[in-house]
Homo-oligomer: A and B are copies of this chain.
Protein backbone atom coordinates (compact mmCIF):
# COMPACT_ATOMS: atom_id res chain seq x y z
CA UNK A 1 0.00 0.00 0.00
CA UNK A 2 1.17 3.55 -0.68
CA UNK A 3 1.59 5.16 2.72
CA UNK A 4 2.73 8.52 4.01
CA UNK A 5 4.35 8.28 7.45
CA UNK A 6 4.78 11.44 9.49
CA UNK A 7 6.74 11.72 12.71
CA UNK A 8 9.89 9.64 13.05
CA UNK A 9 10.70 9.88 16.74
CA UNK A 10 11.67 6.75 18.65
CA UNK A 11 8.20 5.28 18.31
CA UNK A 12 7.56 6.35 14.72
CA UNK A 13 10.88 5.09 13.37
CA UNK A 14 10.22 1.56 14.59
CA UNK A 15 6.68 1.61 13.23
CA UNK A 16 7.84 2.91 9.84
CA UNK A 17 10.54 0.25 9.56
CA UNK A 18 8.01 -2.49 10.26
CA UNK A 19 5.68 -1.13 7.60
CA UNK A 20 8.54 -1.16 5.08
CA UNK A 21 9.46 -4.71 6.08
CA UNK A 22 5.86 -5.73 5.48
CA UNK A 23 6.22 -4.56 1.88
CA UNK A 24 4.44 -1.22 1.99
CA UNK A 25 5.62 1.72 -0.06
CA UNK A 26 6.43 4.58 2.31
CA UNK A 27 7.02 8.29 1.89
CA UNK A 28 8.37 9.81 5.09
CA UNK A 29 8.13 13.24 6.60
CA UNK A 30 9.79 14.52 9.73
CA UNK A 31 10.31 18.09 10.93
CA UNK A 32 14.08 17.52 11.05
CA UNK A 33 14.57 15.71 7.78
CA UNK A 34 17.72 13.81 8.88
CA UNK A 35 15.67 11.38 10.97
CA UNK A 36 13.62 10.53 7.88
CA UNK A 37 16.75 9.97 5.81
CA UNK A 38 18.12 7.50 8.36
CA UNK A 39 15.38 5.07 7.44
CA UNK A 40 16.23 2.96 4.44
CA UNK A 41 13.83 1.77 1.80
CA UNK A 42 11.54 4.79 1.72
CA UNK A 43 11.21 8.13 -0.03
CA UNK A 44 11.50 11.36 1.92
CA UNK A 45 9.27 14.37 1.43
CA UNK A 46 9.82 18.04 2.23
CA UNK A 47 6.36 18.71 3.62
CA UNK A 48 3.44 16.76 5.04
CA UNK A 49 1.34 17.64 1.99
CA UNK A 50 3.97 16.33 -0.39
CA UNK A 51 4.33 13.12 1.60
CA UNK A 52 0.60 12.53 1.30
CA UNK A 53 0.39 13.03 -2.49
CA UNK A 54 -0.91 9.73 -3.98
CA UNK A 55 -1.06 8.02 -0.56
CA UNK A 56 -3.92 5.70 0.36
CA UNK A 57 -3.23 6.39 4.00
CA UNK A 58 -1.20 8.86 6.00
CA UNK A 59 -0.05 7.52 9.37
CA UNK A 60 1.06 10.19 11.87
CA UNK A 61 2.96 9.53 15.09
CA UNK A 62 3.46 12.95 16.61
CA UNK A 63 4.11 14.34 20.09
CA UNK A 64 0.88 16.02 21.10
CA UNK A 65 -2.18 18.03 20.06
CA UNK A 66 -0.09 21.02 19.07
CA UNK A 67 2.24 19.03 16.82
CA UNK A 68 -0.75 17.34 15.23
CA UNK A 69 -2.39 20.69 14.58
CA UNK A 70 0.76 22.04 12.92
CA UNK A 71 1.36 18.98 10.74
CA UNK A 72 -2.28 18.41 9.78
CA UNK A 73 -3.79 21.85 9.36
CA UNK A 74 -1.00 23.96 7.90
CA UNK A 75 -0.99 25.19 4.27
CA UNK A 76 1.29 22.32 3.40
CA UNK A 77 -0.22 19.97 5.96
CA UNK A 78 -1.65 16.47 5.71
CA UNK A 79 -5.17 17.70 5.06
CA UNK A 80 -3.95 19.85 2.17
CA UNK A 81 -2.09 17.00 0.50
CA UNK A 82 -4.12 13.88 1.14
CA UNK A 83 -6.28 12.75 -1.84
CA UNK A 84 -10.03 12.53 -1.52
CA UNK A 85 -11.05 9.11 -0.23
CA UNK A 86 -7.70 8.49 1.41
CA UNK A 87 -7.41 8.23 5.20
CA UNK A 88 -5.41 9.91 7.93
CA UNK A 89 -4.57 7.43 10.71
CA UNK A 90 -3.37 9.26 13.79
CA UNK A 91 -1.42 7.11 16.30
CA UNK A 92 -0.39 9.91 18.66
CA UNK A 93 -1.74 10.23 22.20
CA UNK A 94 -3.97 13.22 21.59
CA UNK A 95 -7.04 14.61 23.30
CA UNK A 96 -10.48 13.28 22.52
CA UNK A 97 -11.42 16.86 21.60
CA UNK A 98 -8.64 17.02 19.00
CA UNK A 99 -9.71 13.65 17.60
CA UNK A 100 -13.20 15.03 17.08
CA UNK A 101 -11.77 18.11 15.38
CA UNK A 102 -9.69 15.96 13.04
CA UNK A 103 -12.72 13.81 12.25
CA UNK A 104 -14.70 16.88 11.17
CA UNK A 105 -11.82 18.48 9.32
CA UNK A 106 -11.07 15.44 7.18
CA UNK A 107 -14.74 14.75 6.57
CA UNK A 108 -15.13 18.26 5.19
CA UNK A 109 -12.43 17.44 2.66
CA UNK A 110 -13.93 14.04 1.77
CA UNK A 111 -11.01 12.32 3.46
CA UNK A 112 -11.35 9.64 6.11
CA UNK A 113 -9.99 9.82 9.63
CA UNK A 114 -9.10 7.04 12.07
CA UNK A 115 -7.52 7.25 15.49
CA UNK A 116 -5.18 4.33 16.12
CA UNK A 117 -3.14 5.01 19.24
CA UNK A 118 -0.67 2.39 20.39
CA UNK A 119 0.54 1.02 23.73
CA UNK A 120 4.19 0.11 24.10
CA UNK A 121 7.65 1.57 24.44
CA UNK A 122 10.14 2.15 21.60
CA UNK A 123 11.55 -1.37 21.91
CA UNK A 124 8.04 -2.76 21.45
CA UNK A 125 7.59 -0.53 18.38
CA UNK A 126 10.84 -1.87 16.92
CA UNK A 127 9.90 -5.46 17.80
CA UNK A 128 6.41 -5.22 16.24
CA UNK A 129 4.86 -5.85 19.65
CA UNK A 130 2.72 -2.75 20.02
CA UNK A 131 -0.89 -3.00 21.12
CA UNK A 132 -2.85 -1.11 18.44
CA UNK A 133 -6.24 0.40 19.29
CA UNK A 134 -8.01 1.74 16.19
CA UNK A 135 -11.43 3.35 16.17
CA UNK A 136 -13.60 4.75 13.41
CA UNK A 137 -15.55 3.37 10.47
CA UNK A 138 -15.56 -0.43 10.67
CA UNK A 139 -15.03 -0.66 6.91
CA UNK A 140 -11.96 1.55 7.02
CA UNK A 141 -10.48 -0.35 9.95
CA UNK A 142 -10.86 -3.60 8.03
CA UNK A 143 -9.23 -2.10 4.98
CA UNK A 144 -6.21 -0.95 6.98
CA UNK A 145 -5.93 -4.01 9.18
CA UNK A 146 -2.75 -5.12 7.35
CA UNK A 147 -1.12 -1.87 8.47
CA UNK A 148 -2.04 -2.48 12.12
CA UNK A 149 -0.76 -6.04 11.83
CA UNK A 150 2.49 -4.75 10.37
CA UNK A 151 3.23 -2.55 13.38
CA UNK A 152 1.75 -4.42 16.33
CA UNK A 153 1.31 -7.72 18.08
CA UNK A 154 -2.37 -7.29 18.78
CA UNK A 155 -5.21 -5.07 17.53
CA UNK A 156 -8.31 -4.13 19.53
CA UNK A 157 -11.07 -2.07 17.92
CA UNK A 158 -12.25 0.56 20.42
CA UNK A 159 -15.41 1.69 18.65
CA UNK A 160 -16.94 3.38 15.66
CA UNK A 161 -16.02 6.93 16.64
CA UNK A 162 -12.32 7.75 16.24
CA UNK A 163 -12.11 9.68 19.55
CA UNK A 164 -13.16 6.55 21.47
CA UNK A 165 -9.74 5.05 20.75
CA UNK A 166 -8.12 8.11 22.30
CA UNK A 167 -10.32 7.78 25.37
CA UNK A 168 -9.17 4.17 25.68
CA UNK A 169 -5.51 5.09 25.24
CA UNK A 170 -5.76 7.83 27.88
CA UNK A 171 -7.53 5.48 30.30
CA UNK A 172 -4.88 2.83 29.69
CA UNK A 173 -2.12 5.29 30.55
CA UNK A 174 -4.17 6.30 33.59
CA UNK A 175 -4.13 2.65 34.72
CA UNK A 176 -0.33 2.68 34.59
CA UNK A 177 -0.08 6.04 36.35
CA UNK A 178 -2.40 4.69 39.07
CA UNK A 179 -0.07 1.77 39.62
CA UNK A 180 2.86 4.20 39.93
CA UNK A 181 0.97 6.27 42.51
CA UNK A 182 0.01 3.16 44.50
CA UNK A 183 3.61 1.93 44.45
CA UNK A 184 4.85 5.38 45.51
CA UNK A 185 2.60 5.61 48.55
CA UNK A 186 3.22 2.03 49.64
CA UNK A 187 7.00 2.33 49.26
CA UNK A 188 7.09 5.61 51.22
CA UNK A 189 5.10 4.17 54.11
CA UNK A 190 7.07 0.92 54.14
CA UNK A 191 10.44 2.68 53.97
CA UNK A 192 9.44 4.64 57.06
CA UNK A 193 8.39 1.32 58.61
CA UNK A 194 11.90 -0.02 58.01
CA UNK A 195 10.78 -2.57 55.42
CA UNK A 196 13.18 -3.31 52.56
CA UNK A 197 11.57 -1.96 49.34
CA UNK A 198 13.08 -4.82 47.32
CA UNK A 199 11.34 -7.31 49.59
CA UNK A 200 7.99 -5.59 49.11
CA UNK A 201 8.50 -5.66 45.35
CA UNK A 202 9.12 -9.43 45.45
CA UNK A 203 5.83 -9.85 47.27
CA UNK A 204 3.95 -7.59 44.84
CA UNK A 205 5.43 -9.55 41.95
CA UNK A 206 4.32 -12.83 43.49
CA UNK A 207 0.87 -11.30 43.92
CA UNK A 208 0.28 -9.52 40.60
CA UNK A 209 2.56 -11.53 38.30
CA UNK A 210 2.67 -8.60 35.90
CA UNK A 211 5.74 -7.55 33.90
CA UNK A 212 4.51 -3.94 34.08
CA UNK A 213 4.57 -4.05 37.89
CA UNK A 214 7.92 -5.84 37.85
CA UNK A 215 9.59 -3.35 35.53
CA UNK A 216 8.30 -0.14 37.08
CA UNK A 217 8.70 -1.52 40.60
CA UNK A 218 12.33 -2.25 39.83
CA UNK A 219 12.92 1.31 38.59
CA UNK A 220 11.51 2.66 41.84
CA UNK A 221 13.44 0.25 44.08
CA UNK A 222 16.67 1.17 42.29
CA UNK A 223 15.64 4.86 42.10
CA UNK A 224 16.74 4.72 38.47
CA UNK A 225 14.74 7.60 37.02
CA UNK A 226 17.20 8.77 34.37
CA UNK A 227 17.33 8.44 31.45
CA UNK A 228 13.55 8.57 31.25
CA UNK A 229 11.69 5.83 29.40
CA UNK A 230 8.66 8.13 29.50
CA UNK A 231 9.24 11.64 30.79
CA UNK A 232 7.20 12.84 33.75
CA UNK A 233 6.13 15.97 31.87
CA UNK A 234 4.56 13.73 29.20
CA UNK A 235 2.84 11.76 31.91
CA UNK A 236 1.42 15.03 33.22
CA UNK A 237 0.16 15.83 29.73
CA UNK A 238 -1.64 12.48 29.56
CA UNK A 239 -3.21 12.95 32.99
CA UNK A 240 -4.39 16.39 31.90
CA UNK A 241 -5.95 14.84 28.81
CA UNK A 242 -7.71 12.04 30.66
CA UNK A 243 -9.13 14.66 33.05
CA UNK A 244 -10.36 16.66 30.05
CA UNK A 245 -12.09 13.56 28.72
CA UNK A 246 -13.54 12.93 32.18
CA UNK A 247 -14.89 16.46 32.15
CA UNK A 248 -16.42 16.00 28.68
CA UNK A 249 -18.09 12.83 29.98
CA UNK A 250 -19.04 14.38 33.37
CA UNK A 251 -17.31 11.48 35.10
CA UNK A 252 -15.44 12.28 38.32
CA UNK A 253 -11.98 10.65 38.53
CA UNK A 254 -10.57 11.43 42.00
CA UNK A 255 -7.59 9.15 41.53
CA UNK A 256 -6.67 10.90 38.27
CA UNK A 257 -6.97 14.20 40.14
CA UNK A 258 -4.64 12.98 42.88
CA UNK A 259 -2.15 11.85 40.26
CA UNK A 260 -2.25 15.26 38.62
CA UNK A 261 -1.37 16.92 41.93
CA UNK A 262 1.40 14.37 42.42
CA UNK A 263 2.87 15.22 39.01
CA UNK A 264 2.69 18.96 39.76
CA UNK A 265 4.62 18.42 43.00
CA UNK A 266 7.24 16.56 40.99
CA UNK A 267 7.33 19.32 38.35
CA UNK A 268 7.94 21.86 41.14
CA UNK A 269 10.94 19.76 42.19
CA UNK A 270 12.75 19.59 38.85
CA UNK A 271 11.56 16.14 37.78
CA UNK A 272 10.04 17.12 34.41
CA UNK A 273 12.63 15.16 32.42
CA UNK A 274 12.87 12.18 34.78
CA UNK A 275 10.92 9.01 34.18
CA UNK A 276 7.33 9.25 35.35
CA UNK A 277 8.01 6.49 37.87
CA UNK A 278 9.93 9.20 39.76
CA UNK A 279 6.60 10.17 41.33
CA UNK A 280 7.95 7.82 44.02
CA UNK A 281 10.42 10.60 44.91
CA UNK A 282 7.50 12.91 45.53
CA UNK A 283 5.73 10.50 47.90
CA UNK A 284 9.01 9.90 49.73
CA UNK A 285 9.56 13.64 50.04
CA UNK A 286 6.09 14.17 51.49
CA UNK A 287 6.81 11.49 54.06
CA UNK A 288 9.94 13.36 55.09
CA UNK A 289 12.34 10.83 53.55
CA UNK A 290 15.40 12.16 51.78
Residues of A within 8 A of B (CB): 96, 119, 131, 133, 154, 156-159, 161, 163-164, 167-168, 171-172, 174-176, 178-179, 181-183, 185-186, 188-190, 192-196, 199-200, 202-204, 206-213, 236, 240, 242-243, 245-247, 249-258, 260-262, 264-265, 267-269, 283, 286-288
Contacts and interface: CB of A to CB of B under 8 A. Distances in A.
A233 to B, nearest CB: 10
Nearest to A256: B185
Nearest to A207: B119
Q: Tell me whether chain A's interface is mostly helix, strand or loop, or mixed.
A: helix
A95 to B, nearest CB: 13
A173 to B, nearest CB: 10
7 pairs of A and B residues whose beta carbons are closest in the complex: A268-B288, A210-B210, A178-B182, A257-B257, A252-B261, A251-B287, A192-B249
A176 B204 CA distance: 10
Given A171-B190, A186-B171, A190-B167, A255 B252 contact: no
Q: Oligomeric state, in number of copies?
A: 4
Q: Which of A183, A210, A251 has the most CB of B within 10 A?
A: A251
Contacts of A189: 167, 171, 242, 245-246, 249, 251, 253
B212 A209 contact: yes
A206 B156 contact: yes
B256 A200 contact: no
A192 B96 CA distance: 13
B212 A131 contact: no
